[in-house]
Structure 1
């Protein structure tokens, strides 16, 4: 096997342009376009653009890809606050992407030199591992991370989604990148005439295509009414006192007289803190007694000098003893990290964010007549540990409460809904995804939709929602797979760097 040329396959200017095009195609793989095969096209363009690059060149290529991708992917952040938050998030995530993709470029330089026979299998697998580490890096840092754009999450409407029930979202990302990297090396080596070298990519493709859903056990049904009130819940909406709870209650009345086990309202479906406002408490108590069912609702709550984004189960006794506080308040949306520093940069924007939400620590779970209901509030749906904790503690159904009012008319609600669908597949649980203004859906454990409400439509989804028990391999093995990649991939790259230096 000949030693690969150290010369980049693309000139730097062409590599930067190719990476930018790859970023645009990658964005189209996610909702609303949701053209999922474009993930593979984008990767097939980006990875060669990183080959043979110096660290500076890799940074330019990675930045070109990251800026274009995130500019399109998170354009919804400009909906109300204008271009500054959108540009800031795009630049930060684009820069972090550039840094995180440098190890991929180094792997293409170092591993073939350290071990020439690695190109067929070991190199593509290392590339896939380093890509997954890059996703985990962006998903955890800074300020808790932003795991919004993991490749596995693009497959909500694709045939490869069941893999997450065995390997988790990171495992699916790994296999997708591995497949593309393996095919690239086969083409570079002209190895398609050697059947033995085709075994690994063909096996990877078969795993992606043929993996069935991990089986979970049916454990009953719960009749759930998910209410989309379509009230004035946006940050800058004009609100009447108790207007939001009135809109939710009005929509809920459309199912009066129906047998219901659990009423579910979205994030921000209650205007005031019922633990401090007696009028709100009375309204909730009258409602749950009229329907003879507990209400899972959400509002901002105060405890001492701290504020939480809280979901609570309000009962017919006029109280709520089961609470869950949002684990990951949104930086620059629900709180401002390093407020003094950022206020000095953009005082008008930072001044708009008056509340400082505190991260929660209580379990993402409530029990309704003994049945575990797992919770995630808004963007918490993208954090693996929140979902896994709820399921591990006995959740037989998942409820995701969100408020998309600040992103009306954008792709944000469809992106978040796709993440909810992937969580259903990953955990083997039905998902009730309920929004203040849409889109709300009830989703089966296989990711298909039972019923839904479009955006800007008031209504109720009332269904016998299937309950499931048992942990999928994706829930159990997912964190271990991530840990293995975080340890093995960088370690392999370091070893390759040391060996290539000796042999250089």
Structure 2
């Protein structure tokens, strides 16, 4: 029986493709916190792919722009909390434009790959694989450029509350994104080719579904426990909050007092927990030493520090004798939040906004790990949690538990803290490590290696968590193979598309 040829015309006219892209953006946003209906990521992906199939470059650009601007506009609406609509609109439009440019490649894959490899099995399996790889490539592109990128919205990160999250411990987050898109594109091809009449063609989607739903957590080994206290002071730590001198450490100290007399191995305060640089403030240094002495454990705190005329976002370990020399500087300062790239150019466009950001933080280069009585603790400061390189380096240095310090005060009343908490949960699953995620204003949690919550502090309330946090050793496949899988998908997708283009032209 001759194999059917898939028509190259668009599945939807542009008048329907653009509303489909908008609906895809709405559903995709609902798959992320705070709504977190994770299953909606699948119909959202399907709507976007259907809207792209058969389009030319111009049509794909329009579809991608509608999807990208609306999706990011909804997802990062928290950025307008203090700075107003201009930065929010600028970020949404930028990410939308980058998304629109990247999805053109997916449209080209739907155009070229069936011509290059016309067999039904190639269209059923190879085409969805290339589409899914290009989707991952789009995520890597948007997450790394410009100015370090914005890897906030990877598809796999939407699954923090789903049974699919365990897959990330084997493949990394990019591998999970690939499998999700592959399944959706596979089902689309089964429908397009009317292959439900061929039982053999249904094996592939069934197998992928089973893999996604039933993959167990990659095993790591319990190596003891560390009694960690994490304090959420709920102080005036926002960029524009009015505060008195020492109001931040006062709030943290007040919330720490219930821990006096408890058995504690490590006391953790969040990002922005100190008012000044303790290396240049004797009074602040003495207070930190006194607190470490009262608790009977070293204090991991955070402040803006200055060294050699450069400013850093620094976490430091402090004992009753003072600083013990272990510091970690934030690796990826937030552009237009902690520094202004190309300041002269952007200052000419919006001088009032750019003028608000006076301090220019320098990216750190020291390892994201500290040693607490022989236990290696991996660190990530605020948005560094979304960058794979910081997490991977901490794991390579032997981290047995992860501590994420953050300051969500500038986003009070939004869902930003829940989005960041979902990323922290995915990191726990991906690395097979317990995570202590502590915020100045919440939401703070201690999370097990399987992603379940041990204890929690609600947003907007001062309090302290004290838990025997499980330590684990051994690296997951997601940590070891995840970067290689991501690189293979990015370059493999681009290479397959280029080869498909050449082969299609010859045919």
Same fold flag (TM > 0.5): yes
Larger mean CA deviation between 494-503 and 43-52 belongs to 494-503
In 2: Cα distance, 1:49 partner to 1:222 partner: 51
1:468 aligns with 2:478: no
Partner residue of 1:367?
371
Partner residue of 2:29?
27
1:412 aligns with 2:384: no
Q: 1:85 aligns with which of 81, 84, 87?
A: 87
Matches within 5 A, 1:260-271: 260-271=264-275
Larger mean CA deviation between 298-307 and 1-10 belongs to 1-10
Partner residue of 1:312?
316
Partner residue of 1:115?
117
Partner residue of 1:58?
60
Matches within 5 A, 1:421-440: 421-440=425-444
In 1: Cα distance, 2:384 partner to 2:323 partner: 25
Partner residue of 1:483?
487
Give the Å deviation of 1:16: 1.1
1:389 aligns with 2:393: yes
In 1: Cα distance, 2:14 partner to 2:215 partner: 39
Partner residue of 1:43?
45
In 1: Cα distance, 2:275 partner to 2:118 partner: 64
Partner residue of 2:152?
148
Say if 1:421 and 1:443, in contact at 8 Å, map to a contact too.
Answer: yes
In 1: Cα distance, 2:25 partner to 2:211 partner: 26
Say if 2:99 and 2:138, in contact at 8 Å, map to a contact too.
Answer: yes
Say if 1:152 and 1:173, in contact at 8 Å, map to a contact too.
Answer: yes
Say if 1:3 and 1:113, in contact at 8 Å, map to a contact too.
Answer: no
In 1: Cα distance, 2:182 partner to 2:13 partner: 25
Q: 2:161 aligns with which of 149, 157, 161?
A: 157
Q: What secondary structure does 2:325 align onto? A: coil
Q: What secondary structure does 1:352 align onto? A: coil
Partner residue of 2:276?
272
Q: 2:259 aligns with which of 249, 255, 259?
A: 255
Q: What secondary structure does 1:395 align onto? A: coil
Say if 2:316 and 2:323, in contact at 8 Å, map to a contact too.
Answer: no
Count of residues in Structure 1 that have an aligned counterpart in Structure 2: 503
Give the Å deviation of 1:320: 3.2
Deviations 1:139-173 (A, max 9, x none): 11110011000010000111100000000000000
Say if 2:33 and 2:422, in contact at 8 Å, map to a contact too.
Answer: yes
In 2: Cα distance, 1:432 partner to 1:218 partner: 17
1:331 aligns with 2:335: yes
* TM-score normalised by the chain length of structure 1: 0.99
Give the Å deviation of 1:502: 2.2
In 1: Cα distance, 2:15 partner to 2:7 partner: 19
Give the Å deviation of 1:291: 1.2
Q: What secondary structure does 1:451 align onto? A: strand
Partner residue of 2:100?
98
1:343 aligns with 2:347: yes
Give the Å deviation of 1:419: 0.3
1:225 aligns with 2:229: yes
1:172 aligns with 2:176: yes
1:13 aligns with 2:15: yes
In 1: Cα distance, 2:20 partner to 2:125 partner: 25
Say if 2:404 and 2:436, in contact at 8 Å, map to a contact too.
Answer: yes
Deviations 1:349-371 (A, max 9, x none): 00000000000010000000010
Q: What secondary structure does 1:319 align onto? A: strand
Larger mean CA deviation between 105-114 and 195-204 belongs to 195-204
In 2: Cα distance, 1:56 partner to 1:502 partner: 24
1:133 aligns with 2:137: yes
Say if 1:297 and 1:313, in contact at 8 Å, map to a contact too.
Answer: yes
In 2: Cα distance, 1:201 partner to 1:136 partner: 25
Say if 2:174 and 2:482, in contact at 8 Å, map to a contact too.
Answer: yes
Q: 2:73 aligns with which of 71, 74, 88?
A: 71
Partner residue of 1:358?
362
Say if 2:434 and 2:470, in contact at 8 Å, map to a contact too.
Answer: yes
Q: What secondary structure does 2:355 align onto? A: helix
Say if 1:150 and 1:173, in contact at 8 Å, map to a contact too.
Answer: yes
Q: Considering only aligned residues, what root-mean-square deviation do their CA atoms show, in Å?
A: 0.6
In 1: Cα distance, 2:489 partner to 2:272 partner: 38
In 2: Cα distance, 1:7 partner to 1:238 partner: 59
In 1: Cα distance, 2:89 partner to 2:125 partner: 39
In 1: Cα distance, 2:425 partner to 2:274 partner: 26
Deviation >3 Å, runs of 4+: none
Q: What secondary structure does 1:268 align onto? A: coil
In 2: Cα distance, 1:395 partner to 1:113 partner: 49
Deviations 1:17-52 (A, max 9, x none): 110110111000000000000000101111010011
